[in-house]
Structure 1
Amino acid sequence: MSSQNIYILGIESSCDDTAASVIHNGRILSNVVASQKIHEEYGGVVPELASRAHQQNIIPVVHQAIKKAGISKNQLSAVAFTKGPGLMGSLLVGTSFAKSLSYGLKIPLIDVNHMQGHILAHFIDEDGFDKPPFPFLAMTISGGHTQIVRVDDYFDMKVIGETIDDAVGEAYDKSGKILGLGYPAGPEIDKRAQLGNPKEFKFTKPKVDGLNFSFSGLKTAILYFVQRETKANPNFVEEHLNDICASIQYTIIGILIDKLKLATKQTGIKHIAIGGGVSANSGIRKALKDGEQKFGWTTYIPKFEFTTDNAAMIAIVGYLKFLEGDFADQDVSASARLKI
């Protein structure tokens, strides 16, 4: 097969989004995501409901991705899927479907690490977006993950810092819950933060050695702060919501930027790439861009649709692995706690 005509189908089902994407020689032809609204009423993802919804969504989503790409399934060169990390029930749906499809079409199967997907999404050929040069530092920030990864090559990565408790997305959601905001709370806090004063209320940053993060102490501090203030004034949250959101966001961004500054100092690497759902946050994007002026960084922020869980990032990893002939056997299994 000529390297000019590689079509990879990517399948992502690690949490509550069922996604499929077709990539042709590094360019995305389709990127389809079916989100599950059912979890909003529970204030978080319910694993059992998530896997059931994946079972309903996966065939229509894959069908749509192939149709939108303008190809037939017989033109596919390989099927790539998320092996982990993620929710076991959700991962199993994508894994079994990918295995069956690759077996039926007699084409290679490629297993993909979800976290590598977030990092390598930067290598999708997209007009107007530069690809980071090796080595670079990747910060993956999402509902389940907060990591700083040193990336020396496509598949030569090392986690040099990570959260020891809550992920940054959890910190947003739990803070939102304390303030009575809906789920997911991140986008709402981000929106309100832009209308408030970030220095109105001070929350102390947790002291964690090295490049690791901690967010659970911040969540507790916010809870005690809100309890204390509402005791004195029952309408406190209502009257100061924008300022509280701005102060929370300012603190979270401060924690992330402090660790990045330390990481660039320790490694001497000034190319910074971010990925994961929380990288859609406007405050974080702005702080990273400001870092270019302040600290001499070069920052890489992927296209918005490639930041949250999506299958385009799985397809690009599949494409890079295909070029290396790195395929999986039919006995490959999903893994909820997969390391980079």
Structure 2
Amino acid sequence: MRSKNTYILGIESSCDDTAAAILCNGNVLSNVVANQAIHQKYGGVVPELASRAHQQNIVPVVDQAIEQAGISLADLSAVAFTQGPGLMGSLLVGTSFAKSLAYGLDIPLIDVNHMQAHILAHFIENEDTEKPEFPFLAMTISGGHTQIVRVDAHFKMTVIGETIDDAVGEAFDKSGKILGLGYPAGPEIDKRAKLGNPKAFKFTKPKVAGLNFSFSGLKTAILYFIQKQLKENPQFIEENLDDVCASIQYTIVGILMDKLKLAVKETGINRIAIGGGVSANSGIRDALKEAESRYGWKTFVPAFEFTTDNAAMIAIVGHLKYLEKNYADQSIMATARLKL
């Protein structure tokens, strides 16, 4: 006989992290992530290598999540997995495993949209963070996505702004590559930005109408700027790295905040929640704190462990869907370009 508690296994495999988590009634019992260091030497994720690593990692990662949670497979109420968006080969590994496990255990299978999970990570039971009230605006910022979403209920979301080219995380990583930093460059730029002058160098913000974003022009402007400076002084990067990082971060955070201010003005909603890997950036966190006191916004920032790709966020969506008996069937397929 199954427990009255709801135990959800979440599986995340959209990119290069293999992750599994167990939630009991919305509380995290385990949250295991296996990173793939192999991509660092290529300066970006190699899809074929990522899918192979997922195949190697998924069984031990799920085993570890079950063991850390102190439960057995027989206790599971449902299996939730990332259906998309993401890299097709990576998604197939997680999808196939989740379908097989749910079928073998004869328990519900629950499909999860990765972007929805970044937003609903705010609803994981956590004493240290407050849950946003509906409606709120969510800004999802990561290596592959930049969106502003109006959230009226757990499963009623409307994208009101998104990037028309590069994602914000990509802008950080490509800028870092220009500066000779390792991959991923975002955390290193953030670290160095704290030591530099954010107004040392001025980069023009792209002019994009409405609530949409563009980062490709900024990336090109940074490339040309660095090339010009290096012609005049071959030691320019070495001598000015902290200031350049601070100026890049200041510009990118400025672009994000300008669009958020416009979104608040257009919708009249001043509750702002952020999610995705770039929400770990100290610059955007500081800017949101400042907006709380300056504009009277109420801002919600997830705990660090729920910002980057993780399975706890998949499991919380699984938990919420389980309560509604919103299940998938065995014919469901991984979808690389799944829309929110």
Relative to 1, partners in 2 of residues 1:336 and 1:134: Cα closer, same or farther, differing over 3 Å? same
Q: Secondary structure at the match of 2:115?
A: helix
* Residue type at the aligned position of 2:128: G
Report the alpha carbon displacement of residue 55 of structure 1 after superposing the two structures with TM.
Answer: 0.1
Deviations 1:71-115 (A, max 9, x none): 010000000000000000000000000000000000000000000
Number of the residue aligned with 1:88 = 88
Report the alpha carbon displacement of residue 4 of structure 1 after superposing the two structures with TM.
Answer: 4.8
Q: Secondary structure at the match of 2:327?
A: coil
Q: Does the 8 A contact of 2:3 with 2:75 survive in 1?
A: no
Q: Secondary structure at the match of 1:237?
A: helix
Report the alpha carbon displacement of residue 282 of structure 1 after superposing the two structures with TM.
Answer: 0.7
Q: Secondary structure at the match of 1:54?
A: helix
Number of the residue aligned with 1:46 = 46
Write out aligned runs for 1:301-320 (5 A): 301-320=301-320
Deviations 1:198-251 (A, max 9, x none): 000000000000000000000000000001111011101110000000000000
**What is the rounded CA distance, in whole Å, between the counterparts of 2:128 and 2:254 in structure 1?**
28
Q: Secondary structure at the match of 1:19?
A: strand
Q: Secondary structure at the match of 1:326?
A: coil
Write out aligned runs for 1:135-284 (5 A): 135-284=135-284
Number of the residue aligned with 2:98 = 98
* Residue type at the aligned position of 1:319: H
Deviations 1:9-66 (A, max 9, x none): 0000000000000000010100000000000000000000000000000000000001
**What is the rounded CA distance, in whole Å, between the counterparts of 1:306 and 1:47 in structure 2?**
23
**What is the rounded CA distance, in whole Å, between the counterparts of 1:153 and 1:305 in structure 2?**
24
**What is the rounded CA distance, in whole Å, between the counterparts of 1:2 and 1:24 in structure 2?**
13
**What is the rounded CA distance, in whole Å, between the counterparts of 1:338 and 1:193 in structure 2?**
34
**What is the rounded CA distance, in whole Å, between the counterparts of 1:265 and 1:294 in structure 2?**
14
TM-score, length-normalised on structure 2? 0.99
Number of the residue aligned with 2:61 = 61
**What is the rounded CA distance, in whole Å, between the counterparts of 1:70 and 1:2 in structure 2?**
15
Q: Does the 8 A contact of 2:10 with 2:314 survive in 1?
A: yes
Deviations 1:165-214 (A, max 9, x none): 00000000000010000000000000000000000000000000000000
Report the alpha carbon displacement of residue 128 of structure 1 after superposing the two structures with TM.
Answer: 1.7
* Residue type at the aligned position of 1:91: L
Calculate the aligned-residue CA RMSD, in Å. Answer: 1.0
Report the alpha carbon displacement of residue 3 of structure 1 after superposing the two structures with TM.
Answer: 9.4
Report the alpha carbon displacement of residue 294 of structure 1 after superposing the two structures with TM.
Answer: 1.2
Q: Secondary structure at the match of 2:166?
A: coil
Q: Does the 8 A contact of 1:4 with 1:25 survive in 2?
A: no
* Residue type at the aligned position of 1:332: I
Unpaired segments of 5 or more residues in structure 1? none
Q: Does the 8 A contact of 2:14 with 2:91 survive in 1?
A: yes
Unpaired segments of 5 or more residues in structure 2? none
* Residue type at the aligned position of 1:40: Q
Q: Secondary structure at the match of 1:214?
A: coil
Q: Does the 8 A contact of 1:33 with 1:310 survive in 2?
A: yes
Q: Does the 8 A contact of 1:110 with 1:326 survive in 2?
A: yes
Q: Secondary structure at the match of 2:321?
A: helix
Q: Secondary structure at the match of 1:325?
A: coil
**What is the rounded CA distance, in whole Å, between the counterparts of 1:297 and 1:39 in structure 2?**
39
**What is the rounded CA distance, in whole Å, between the counterparts of 1:216 and 1:169 in structure 2?**
12
Q: Sequence identity, in percent?
A: 78
Q: Does the 8 A contact of 2:151 with 2:157 survive in 1?
A: yes
Q: Does the 8 A contact of 1:3 with 1:25 survive in 2?
A: no
Query: How many residue pairs were aligned?
Result: 340
**What is the rounded CA distance, in whole Å, between the counterparts of 2:63 and 2:261 in structure 1?**
44
Q: Secondary structure at the match of 1:259?
A: helix
Q: Secondary structure at the match of 1:212?
A: coil
Q: Does 1:36 align with 2:36?
A: yes
**What is the rounded CA distance, in whole Å, between the counterparts of 2:217 and 2:3 in structure 1?**
51
**What is the rounded CA distance, in whole Å, between the counterparts of 1:233 and 1:137 in structure 2?**
45
